[in-house]
Homo-oligomer: A and B are copies of this chain.
Amino acid sequence: MMATNGKDASGVKDGVSSNHSSEEFAKSNGEARETPAPSKRQNGVAERPQRFTFSSEPTVEDIRRMQAEFTDERDWNQFHQPRNLLLAMVGEVGEVAELFQWRGEVAEGLPDWTESEREQLAHELSDVMIYLVELAEKCRVDLPQAVLRKMALNRLKYPASKVHGSAKKYTEYKD
């Protein structure tokens, strides 16, 4: 919404590839979807349940830019040093943990949770994301590309052929 009024953000948006406002994102993307996966019953393989997907926007960079605008407009960069942001993220992770404590195991999709509990979880996961993104920015880590590099490493450490169905740590595998 800040991006639509053009106020205070002029120095921030320059050179950033996406100029969508958060309102545009919300309009153009709608709700998350359950994507139908093809049935494999014909081949005798068990049918795969429908797969949940995220909206394509906002991107990680969109989130970085919007949070940077939010921080700039409030003159809050003076408080947002890396260690403060890290502690803020730790605090938000704690708030996520609070929502899961004393419950016993929770099934995928949170079938027993109320709508209000789900929305609270969405808020707390978002807070973790926002601080994670701002921490990466302030540390000059290109988070989307760093994730690609880490995923490539994970595939090398855990080859599918070797680790299938096992929860062992990579140091426990033998060649």
The answer to whether the Cβ of A31 comes within 8 Å of any Cβ in the partner chain is yes
A164 at the interface (CB under 8 A from B): yes
B126 adjacent to A129 (CB under 8 Å)? no
| Chain A contact surface mostly | helix
B100 pairs with A122, CB closer than 8 A: no
Chain B residue at minimal CB-CB distance from A165 = B75
By the criterion CB–CB under 8 Å, are B123 and A54 in contact? no
Given A78-B165, A150-B123, verify A65-B86 contact (CB < 8 Å). Answer: no
Q: Which of A103-132 contact B (CB under 8 A)?
A: 105-110, 118, 121-123, 125-130, 132
In angstroms, Cα B10 to Cα A40, docked, is 11
Cβ-defined contact, B105 with A145, below 8 A? no
Give chain B residues whose Cβ lies under 8 Å from the Cβ of A26: 145, 148
The CA of A81 and the CA of B96, in the complex, are separated in Å by 15
Most buried by B among A48, A56, A74: A74
- Contact residues in B for A126 (Cβ distance below 8 Å): 143, 146-147, 149-151
Chain B: CB-nearest residue to A107: B81
Q: A14-B36, A128-B128, A132-B132 are in contact. List 18 more A-B contacts (CB 8 A).
A: A14-B38, A22-B151, A29-B145, A63-B147, A70-B154, A70-B155, A74-B158, A83-B106, A86-B97, A86-B100, A89-B128, A90-B97, A108-B139, A109-B140, A121-B139, A122-B150, A125-B132, A125-B146
